[in-house]
Structure formats: C-alpha cells, structure tokens
Amino acid sequence: MLREAQEKLKKYYGYDDFRKGQGSVIESIMSGHDTFAVMPTGAGKSVCYQIPALMLSGVTLVVSPLISLMKDQVDTLNSIGIAATYINSSLSINEVNDRIDKVSSGEFKLLYVAPERLESDFFCNMLNRLEISLLAVDEAHCVSQWGHDFRPSYAAISILIDKLRTRPIIAAFTATATQEVRTDVIKLLKLREPDVYVTGFNRENLSFTVIRGENKRDFVLKYIQDNKDKVGIIYTATRKETNNLYELLHKKGYNVGKYHAGLNDEERKQNQEKFLFDDINIIIATNAFGMGIDKSNVRYVIHYNLTKSMEAYYQEAGRGGRDGEPSECVLLFSAADVLLQKFFIEQSGAIPERKVNEYKKLQAMVDYSHTTRCLRKFILEYFGEENVIDKCDNCSTCNDESELVDITIEAQKIFSCIFRMKERYGTSLIAEVLRGSKNKKVLELGFDKLSTYGIIKQYTVKEIRDLINVLTAEEYLSLADGQFPVVHLKEKAVAVLKNEVKVYQKVEKKKAKVIKDTGLFEILRSLRKEISEREKVPPYIVFADSALREMSEYFPVNEKEMLNIKGVGESKLNKYGEEFISAIKKYMKENNIELKEEILYNEGDDKTEVAVEQDSKNNDKVPSYIITYNMYKEGKSIEEIISERQLKSLTVQEHIFKCASEGFDVNLDDFIPKDHEALIIEVIEKIGASKLRPIKEALPEEIDYLAIKATIFKYANTRIS
C-alpha cells in the first residue's frame, strides 16, 4: 500500500520519500480509519489526502475555507497531472451542475468545496449522486470555538456526514491546535475512534527573533535594505498600519503591494496575484492575507505588531520557508500592541468564556515576547510537545552570545512590592509604586507609605513593566485572565525571595548577515518567471526555490539527473526539463564549469559564502537624541548641550521629549520653574493644548516654550496614568 503511494509521490510530485508523518497518515486513511493529523505549515498536509484520493475509488471531497486556497490547490494539482476541480460562489448553477456531472463520470479525483456550501440541502443532495470515498477537512481547527479562527459554517460538515447515503472515511488536518482544540475537533466532526497523528510542530528551517524597544519603521527599512532581493510578508494589526507602511516603502522605491479587507475584491486579487507571480516581492497585509497562499519561496515573515495568539502567529510565520529553505520570522513587540489586541477582544462580541480564553492566548504571546528561554522551545511546549531541547541554535535567544545579567535583587524588590500590594493590582500600578510615582491613584491608595515605594526609582516605569513581563514569561509571576489582569506571585518567586535561587536576564546581540553567490540560481529564477508568464501560473507552481537551488548546486544536464532533483516529477520534467537543462548547460559553458559524472552529486554543495562586514563605526553609532540624553544625565543644562553640540534649541528640546516619550528617566520638573507650573496648567485647562502659540501669548513673557512643552507632556501623562 505504502509502496504504491511512494510511486505516486515520485510520479506526480517528484519526491522519493515522504516527509515526517506523511506515510503514517496515508496508511491510516488507506486502511479505512478516520484520521486526525496535526502537522506544521509547510509539512505537506495536502499530500496526505491527495495521494489517497488517487488510490481510492470514487472522489475525495475536500472542505477548504477560502476560494483562493481551493483555486490555488486545484491549479497546482492540475499542473502535475492530477485531475481536480472546485465548486464555489464564483460559479453559476449550470457550471455547478456541469462539474458535478463530470465528477460523477470520473473525470476528477478531487472536488474542493467551501464549508458554507454544505449548509445548502440542495447541494448536499447533489453530492449524494457521487461516490465519496474520502472527506478531507482542511484547517480543521476552525470547527472549534476554542481554536484561533472559529468559523460557525464548519458545523455544517458533521451535518453533511449524517446526510450522505454512505459514510466516507473522514480525515481532518490542521497546523496549529492545542490538546483542548484537538479534543474538540474530534468530538464536533464525530470522528469514529480516529488515528491521531501529531507529527511535531518544529520547523527547523525557520529562525525566530523577537525585537523589543526599537523603532519599528527604522527596523523594517534597514531589514528590507539588507534583504532587498528576497521575498517577504509583513503582517500588521490594522488596515491603517498596512496603508502607512505600504506608502513608506512604496515611496522608497521598493517593489511592494498591500492586502487587507478594506480593499475591493479586484484590488486584493491583483495584489495577491502579483505577489504569487513574483511581480512584487514584498506584501504588507493584515491577517486577511495568507490562508490561501501556497507560495514556497517566502524568505522572511515580519510581524509588525503582536498577534492575538500563538496559533495565529505560528500559522502566519509558517508561511515562510515552505520549500524547506532557511527563512526568518521576526516579531516586533511594543506594549501598545497588547492594548490594541485587548480592544479587538472586547469589540469581538464573543461570549464571556471565549473572551477569557482569548485573553489567556494573548498573554501567552506577551510571555513569548519577553522570555529569556529558547523561542522555539517556548512555541513547541505551548503546543504540548514534550522533551524539547533547551537550545535550538536558531532563534534570537539561543544565538545571543551576551552574558546573562543577574537581576535577582530587582526581582526580589518587585516580588516584595507585589506581596505588599496584596496581589490585587496590575503591572502598570505596581511599576508606578516601585518607581515612586506621585500618581493620584498611588497616593489615594496609600502606596506611597509602603516600604517598597520608590525602591527601584533608577528604572523608568516602562523598564519596570518590561521586567515584570520577563518575570511573568519565566513563570515567577502569573496574570489573571481578563482585560485588566492582576499580578500574582508563583512558587518560583517565593524561592527567589528566600535567596534559594537567582534570576538572570539576557541582553540580545544582532547577527551579521550572510550573502550567498547565486549566479545560476538567479538565471533559473528568471527562466521560471518567463515560463510562469507564458503559462499564466504562479512561478512556484513551475518549480519551488528549493528545486532551483538544488539545480544550481548539482548542475543536472540530462533527464536522469534532473529527476534526482527534489520536486521534479515526470510531469514537470516533460513540461519544463528541456528548458532548464539548456539553461544549465549554457551557464556551465560560459563559466568553464566541467563536472565529472561520478562526483556530480558529491561536490555540488561547495558554495562560496561571503560574509557582509559590518562597519564598526556605523554599527556602534549612537542616535543623536541618545547623545543629548546622556549629556542631560551628566547634569548639563539645555544651554550647555546646545553650545557643545552646536544644535538648535528646538532640536535639543525634541530630543529630550522623545526620550521621555520612550520611557527614559527624564525629570520634566527640571524644565518647569515651580512658580510657573500652576499658571501654565490653568491656561491649558481654559484654552486647550492643541497649539503652543495661544498658550504662550496668554502667559507672562518670562515663561518659555520649553516650560510649556514640559508641562503639557507631564500633564498629559498624569491624566493618562
């Protein structure tokens, strides 16, 4: 049975062996068992039902959540010689009838439908004209309200199963599901004693990075400059963020597109196809983009904002490196993202139990963003994997070679403060107390009388909140679920207070980039693009990047050698083999490359890597506003800084307020004479703070703009806090 499956894998897909877990899942289905497979994005879930579809009598019905997803899969299947079709809302009733007739007569082996289609009794009756041997449910987590992408229409699947005159084998597939969701899916789809396969969530070719506290726009601009020839996705949390980032990159001359639900259908379709066809190499999008995208050569996925859950993050990040080639997944974290996601949860209209669950999932993402442990280990353990190695050597934590910093004293002070506040308050108020804030709420509750009040005033409130987040991620603290979570001490924190264990924090370092010599690869990539335009299919349907890279390493110059390239099956060899072999031979001739047949597949991996040298001056360059801040902390006045740095007064003022807004330790009272503050506040309350000149004109002449700005900033922050 498995041998026949392997023959079809080689014939149609061009691979000699199944990936991890595929063989077991296929054997289970072919043995007639209901099957539930949890396999990471890019692990080849679709092969697990497509190959059985070729071996079983009748048709395989595939429930797929998006029109773009089913069209993409059908196009891919047809390109490798497998007869498949779909039925969705884009078809007329006559076209639907015609396709059902063709399926019934055996013209197609796979039929893709959307779950909403199954809510129609008329359509379900039409399906009873078919011999359905296998029902495959893609993105099966959508059936569970505890999943990250619950869709009520998925409830129609179990109703359809009851209506079919002969119950087919049921196979369900998902990339991201915790144990709770897996149990729910089995129950809701009414799977009968299913074989359950969790093949592991690890994607070894993906590197994971979390970046906190950096200017996001500056980071993205530099990253794209360093990776300008690579294909990438940048996810944002809102349409506005998508539009703004698109405009920024478009003006910079980058080949970029955008995708969100605010665009009309035609715009979304055009932008998606441009990305699929390599006409643009960067797409900026909300989470509306991606489920229907099977693009294999995405080299990086940047999350500009925090996602609502680990499931959503891992699914979106998993769209990188589907060809098995190294790809980067970068998450840019800011505290504002957490507030935005909480707003989305409150606006969702979900039942209270689901809201609590959503807050719990969001906290897991906050923990991930602050953990000092291996990021891969954090992800895998979240999904229930056991015995995960402590160090993956492919994430920003593991690749950070800096020394651990002992923060035991700071941790003890934080734990002590939480204890004295009776574990009844949230992160922000705890940070205010530790900083020694004169916040109205702090004073009203009498927390300025606590022994821990102002005990770590050398830190900013933002830095203290970050420390609390780190300690939460490392399970010294826990947060109650909800919109305003309360901080509690855990058993590990008690051990720290008793001086039984120490607490450490790690400081991140940046890695130097590596660039490969890809001469032949780029030639083959151009050829692939020509073919894709000629045949009107996305480039990755011709060949994946991994296949082109292997060709550029091993130089296959005949059909036998070309079939040894992973991803080259008989159908694609017949369609494209001659053109690629000709291109390879031409490149070899022009570059005087001669390979002996017996060593062709042993020395092909001898590639030259050119390390990009970092200019130490530029690499260590301190931003101008930080230089101003350091001089201010040395005790120098604004006038002294202006004189020494030869800057305008307005520039230095902007530096100071930028530092204050980013949470640096800036005492705004340094710029507000005591006898002026009350008068400035009185004027602000009368005429507002939207414009400075009216305020200045309403005040005595000796009160300068610096004092006014500092008061506005201080007053605004006091009102907010």
Query: 3-state class of 421 per DSSP?
Result: coil
pLDDT tens sequence across 304-331 = 999 999 988 998 998 999 888 899 999 9
| Closest residue by Cα to residue 173 from 160, 186, 163 | 186
pLDDT tens sequence across 356-414 = 888 889 989 989 998 888 999 999 999 888 888 889 999 988 887 666 788 899 999 99
CB atoms near residue 602 (< 10 Å)? 10
Q: Answer whether residue 612 shows pLDDT above 50.
A: no
- What percent of the chain has pLDDT above 90? 34
More confident residue, 652 or 299: 299
CB atoms near residue 652 (< 10 Å)? 21
Q: Answer whether residue 598 shows pLDDT above 60.
A: no
Choose the weakest-confidence range: 27-36, 169-178, 666-675: 666-675
In this structure, is the dihedral angle defined by the CA atoms of residues 194, 200, 206 and 209, taken in order, positive or negative? Answer: positive
- Interacting residues of 413 by C-beta distance below 8 A, sequence separation 6+: 434, 452, 455, 456
Q: Rounded CA gap, 264 and 344, in Å?
A: 23
Q: Answer whether residue 620 shows pLDDT above 80.
A: no
Q: Answer whether residue 665 shows pLDDT above 80.
A: no
Task: Describe the strand order of the beta sheet including 195-198 as a list of residue ranges.
Answer: 84-87, 110-113, 59-63, 132-137, 169-174, 35-38, 195-198
Say what the pTM is: 0.59
pLDDT tens sequence across 232-286 = 999 999 999 999 999 999 999 999 999 998 888 889 889 988 998 889 999 999 8
Strands 504-506 and 300-303: unpaired
The mean predicted confidence, pLDDT, of the chain is 84
Q: Rounded CA gap, 53 and 595, in Å?
A: 41
> In this structure, what token pair is assigned to residue 402?
């800096």
244-268 as b/e: b if 16+ CB within 10 A: ebbeebeeeebebbbbbeebeeeeb
Q: Answer whether residue 599 shows pLDDT above 50.
A: no
pLDDT tens sequence across 105-120 = 999 999 999 888 888 8
Quick one: which H or E segment has residue 396?
none
| Closest residue by Cα to residue 291 from 114, 542, 144 | 114
Q: Rounded CA gap, 476 and 491, in Å?
A: 7
Q: Answer whether residue 524 shows pLDDT above 70.
A: yes
CB atoms near residue 479 (< 10 Å)? 20
- Interacting residues of 257 by C-beta distance below 8 A, sequence separation 6+: 246, 271, 274, 275, 280, 282, 283, 284
Task: Describe the strand order of the beta sheet including 206-212 as a list of residue ranges.
Answer: 206-212, 327-333, 300-303, 232-235, 282-285, 256-259
